[in-house]
Chains A and B, each alone.
Chain A
Amino acid sequence: MKKTFLRLFGLVGLILLLAACGNEEVKPVEINESTDTCEVCNMMVANDQHATQIALESGRTLVFDDLGCMYEWLDGHAEEKIAAEFVRDYHNKEWVLVDEATFVYNQSVKTPMAYNVISFKDKQTAEEFAAEHEGSTVMTATELAEHSWERNQEMMMKNKMEHHSHDQAEGMDHSGETENVDPQTEESDSSHGEDTH
């Protein structure tokens, strides 16, 4: 009896050990600037603090040039089996698991695809950055998952508005064709903008 118990105990221990090994095996890959392109937007991925990556359970790694692109991919691939998601520290470019990182959204921070979100290894450095830069929002990974990923504010709005007006061209008069942005149209579109993307 005691022997079987011991064996069982040993087996459980071994499984746990193996499982732990398995987890550690998922490591971020180096970015190769000459060949890596973003899975979503096709841009070359610079080996900088904005690069992110997803390791799939199949062993394949996807790289992204901007945090926002990674979330856009996640949005469209809910069924994929993901082993790990990595982002980088804004200051020292160290790879960090998404869940352990802290994020700052600030419209004046430039990122490759203008999603304007950066990541930090420590909560403290993120808060320091936010304190130094006006208009920053500090977020945890869970909060980031709820982030709207609005790109480059009024630009996107204008783009959408023009398409919106094309779509509705038949129902409307020529006001949609004028060059000037009619504040009224813009306003009505900002509410529309959210459900189009």
Chain B
Amino acid sequence: MKKFTMALLVFSCLSIPTGSEASSPIQSIIDTTPAGGTVEIEAGEYEETIVIDKPLIIVGKGDVLLRSCEKEPVVTIAGEGVKIKNITVEHCGEEEKDTAVSITGSHHLLDGMKIETRRFGIMLVEANDVTVQNSELKGRNRGNGIDLWKSNQNQIENVKVTNVTDGIYLEQSHENVLSKNSLENSRYGMHLMYSNQNVLQENSSTSNITGAMLMETDKTSVRHNMFEANKSNVNAQGLLLYEAYNTEVIENEIRGNRVGVYIEKAEKNQLVSNKIIDNFIGVQFKNANENKISQNTFIGNVNEAQAIESSANKVDNNYWDAASLVDMDGDGKSEIPYHADPYFLTLTKSVPEYQLFFQAPGLILLQNLLKSPDDQLLTDSAPLMEMSLTVEKETTSRVGLWVMSILMIIASTSVFILGRKRK
């Protein structure tokens, strides 16, 4: 394979500026390079849009910025086997459908890209087997970061997406793998609609309205992800399943969200071995049946679980930090079933001011006296005695603790002594 190295700056200076060639130096090189060739772009800023529709390798040498405010995407990729590396792409158009990078066809690769957009970042339309990796994408919360439509078997790996509508959006797209991505400050981190057999693994979705939203999906695998601090919006949650079926939610960490996992009209999903920690509501069910919730660790949630109009869910062997447990036969499981009671939630819904009484002894007494309606309880038939997962809890440093205690002792004794003297 021949390698074409082009010193673009020199090229554009030498050539006589005629017609479109002068205003689009990169495109003219792309057009003259035969399929299978390599185009190297010298460092610099280029104000143009490019179209690549044959197998080419495009590599940025140093800081290459491609910028355009036109209606067309800055980079349009079609056909097969296009590879683009180390290029910064900026689209400054404000129109609703403006897109920085548009991809159709198959077997493409985007590596080491930096993308800035005011609307959409990367749009895949009927594109298959495309890899987007080691890249960064930043938007203005007015369009999706990576948008897949009818696109299958694509890999999105190690991409950092911030400030977009949906970080990665899939519609009618199947068997895609999203791994090790970071999604922040967006509406939904990952949003799947009518898409089946996709894999979400080792992603981190934080400070979004919803960490991941699965709607009308089948056989999605959600493993080893981190859904954290999705809490600033009144409708926020870590993970939302709506009409999702056969989803495997395994070994994720769901921490500090408004609602950890919200499940509505969803059936036959598995929620296994997750850490569900410090959420306002750990797990919330609505019209959700035949789901399995097992071996999860629930710690520090204000309300552990609520189930509305939900039945036939298999809930067992979870660790609940609020449960009273008795293990008589030594099998590590309590003989007393645990009812996760959303009493506090029911109470504060009608009178929000009662939140002041959280964990007040009177309230705990009340909760034991007046249980929530049975149809709202989620019952673990055999809760675990010990947590099965190691959980790192914030611990105050030892020195700090000593200093604090000594100060307290001095303060209290001085009050005691001074008070006596006055008498």
Contacts and interface: CB of A to CB of B under 8 A. Distances in A.
Given A41-B215, A42-B235, A159-B245, 8 more contacts: A34-B233, A35-B235, A42-B240, A43-B213, A44-B187, A114-B193, A159-B194, A162-B245
Q: What is the predominant secondary structure among interface residues of chain B facing chain A?
A: strand
Interface in A155-183: 155-156, 158-159, 162-163
18 contacts: A41-B242, A42-B240, A42-B242, A42-B264, A44-B209, A44-B235, A113-B193, A114-B193, A114-B194, A151-B194, A151-B216, A152-B172, A156-B194, A158-B196, A159-B194, A162-B218, A162-B245, A163-B245
Interface residues of B, number: 19
A35 B216 contact: no
Nearest to A41: B242
A3 to B, nearest CB: 54
Interface string B221-256: 000000000000111000010100100000000000
Contacts of B240: 42
A52 B348 CA distance: 30
A37 interface: yes
Interface in A58-81: none
Interface of A: 34-35, 37, 41-44, 113-114, 151-152, 155-156, 158-159, 162-163
A151 B235 CA distance: 25
B278 interface: no
B171 interface: yes
B188 to A, nearest CB: 8
B216 A159 contact: yes
Contacts of B216: 151-152, 155-156, 159
A35 B196 CA distance: 29
Nearest to B197: A179
A42 B236 CA distance: 10
A155 B172 contact: yes
B8 to A, nearest CB: 38
Given A44-B209, A152-B172, A152-B194, A35 B234 contact: yes
A120 to B, nearest CB: 18
Interface of B: 171-172, 187, 193-194, 196, 209, 213, 215-216, 218, 233-235, 240, 242, 245, 262, 264
Contacts of A113: 193
A63 to B, nearest CB: 12
A163 B218 CA distance: 10
Nearest to A163: B245
Contacts, number: 40
A114 B264 CA distance: 19
- Which of A34, A43, A162 is the most central at the interface, judged by chain B CB atoms within 10 Å of its CB? A43
Contacts of A114: 171, 193-194
Contacts of B233: 34-35
Contacts of B213: 43
Nearest to B262: A42
Contacts of B171: 114
A155 B187 contact: no
Nearest to A162: B218
Contacts of B242: 41-42
Contacts of B264: 42
Report the 7 A-B pairs with minimum CB-CB distance, sorted nearest first.
Answer: A155-B194, A37-B235, A152-B194, A155-B172, A35-B234, A159-B218, A42-B242
Nearest to B265: A41
Contacts of B172: 152, 155
B42 to A, nearest CB: 39
Nearest to A42: B242
A42 B213 CA distance: 10
A140 B233 CA distance: 37
- Which of B194, B209, B215 is the most central at the interface, judged by chain A CB atoms within 10 Å of its CB? B194
A41 B193 CA distance: 12
Contacts of B218: 159, 162
A41 B210 CA distance: 14
A38 to B, nearest CB: 10
A87 B187 CA distance: 24
A152 B195 CA distance: 11
Contacts of B209: 44
- Which of B193, B234, B262, B264 is the most central at the interface, judged by chain A CB atoms within 10 Å of its CB? B193
A193 to B, nearest CB: 14
A61 to B, nearest CB: 16
A18 to B, nearest CB: 34
Nearest to A179: B197
A155 B195 CA distance: 8
A117 B399 CA distance: 65
A114 B213 CA distance: 16
A44 B235 CA distance: 8
B289 to A, nearest CB: 13
Nearest to A37: B235
A89 B381 CA distance: 53
B339 to A, nearest CB: 26
Contacts of A44: 187, 209, 235
Nearest to A166: B268
Contacts of A151: 194, 216
A37 B234 CA distance: 10
Nearest to B149: A110
A22 to B, nearest CB: 30
B398 to A, nearest CB: 43
A43 B215 CA distance: 10
